[in-house]
Amino acid sequence: MAGRVDALYIFLLIVCGMMTLLIFVCLIYFAARYRYRPGVRAEQIEGSTPLEIVWSTIPFLVFMVIFGWGAVVYFQERTPPRDATEVYVVAKQWMWKLEHAEGQREINELHVPVGQDVKMIMTSQDVIHSFFVPAFRIKQDVLPGRYTVAWFRATKPGVYHLFCAEYCGTQHSGMVGDVVVMEPAQYEAWMNGGSTGPLSATGEKVFAELGCSTCHRADAQGRGPNLQGVFGKPVQLEDGRTLVADENYIRECILDPGAKRVKGFQPIMPTFQGLVSEEQVNALVAYIKSLSPAKPAAAGADKTSASTDANRNSEGSQVE
């Protein structure tokens, strides 16, 4: 994204620079040309329609170019590719806790392979934070009580600064970290060291421990809906609305089940607010996602921008 954001930014600078130059040249020229001279009277000018049209149309066209270009870059930046690997991020005063879908946990460090789309599903345990990696041109608020999403594809191995960009208390300035971008082989080696197993497997354990599995069973016998294949599919709600089950929906079902009741079921699901940590909610979300048909295979996927565009899903509900 960095190149695209920079190109737009440089274009804006050039347009602004040219306007500044034009204004100052005219200012100086007119000041000299029409300065006060004894005996010369000012002449009243009644206006000019062609002039009005020209200086309305040209700025309009320039602004429409900025708007169109900005909108395209914005939607690219806001729409994670479908086959991105996922990292769950929990921000708290004053650290970043990161958990890979494969199970690795990190604090203030995020290891990723070069050339891979990475989608971050982020929430906060306390106040508002903001995930900011200047080198990747991403900055996304991280809010308590919901998920926000950001994504990137690192193009060069190296270590990049990660900041919190939202004042979050005394040690806000210490809430920093590194994104470590590695060659795929190195990353593979890193991955194989000290994993606790996939996040979805942790989620499956939590699912059993909390008794979710007593109501949500894989057969049709449970008192709650069968969760196989729910993620990413439309859900009919009791109040007549239909929505697509995304991460925020699953999260809300767990923490505030009364907010959106699924059609055709008794409202018996208890809230788990206060009983589960953010990490456990993330694990449950990862587990429920894993019950849905596999996403398009990441391996061998064509990584040209055209095919990535075609792979984009709409994550509209996460856009602020």
Q: Which residue ranges make up the site for ligand HEC (CB under 6 A)?
A: 207, 210-212, 214-216, 223-225, 227, 230, 235, 245, 250, 253-254, 257, 261-262, 265-269, 272, 284, 288
Q: Which does 105 bind (CB under 5 to 8 A by kind): ligand HEC, Cu ion, none?
A: none
Nearer to Cu ion, 89 or 285 (CB): 89
Structure tokens at 26: 């005219």
**Cα–Cα distance, 113 to 188 (Å, whole number):** 8
CA 116 to chain centre: 16
Nearer to Cu ion, 164 or 199 (CB): 164
- The answer to whether the beta carbons of residues 131 and 158 sit under 8 Å apart is no
Figure out which of the listed residues 162, 168, 245, 281 binds Cu ion, where binding follows CB under 5 A. 168
Name residues contacting Cu ion, limited to 120-149 (CB under 5 A).
Answer: 129
- The answer to whether the beta carbons of residues 163 and 189 sit under 8 Å apart is no
User: Minimum CB separation from ligand HEC for residue 171, in Å?
Assistant: 33
> Phi and psi (nearest 5°) for 223?
-80, -15
**Cα–Cα distance, 283 to 203 (Å, whole number):** 4
Q: Is residue 162 involved in binding Cu ion (CB under 5 A)? A: no
Q: Is residue 175 involved in binding Cu ion (CB under 5 A)? A: yes
Q: Which amino acid is at 201?
A: A
User: Minimum CB separation from ligand HEC for residue 249, in Å?
Assistant: 7
User: Minimum CB separation from ligand HEC for residue 207, in Å?
Assistant: 6
User: Is the four-CA dihedral 297, 303, 307, 312 of positive or negative sign?
Assistant: positive
Nearer to ligand HEC, 2 or 201 (CB): 201
Q: Is residue 92 involved in binding Cu ion (CB under 5 A)? A: no
Q: What distance, in Å, lies between the first and last C-alpha atoms of the chain?
A: 20
Dihedral angle computed from the Cα positions of residues 63, 68, 72 and 77, in that order, rounded to the nearest 10 degrees: 30
Q: Which does 129 bind (CB under 5 to 8 A by kind): Cu ion, ligand HEC, none?
A: Cu ion
Which residues contribute to the site for Cu ion (CB under 5 A)?
129, 164, 168, 175
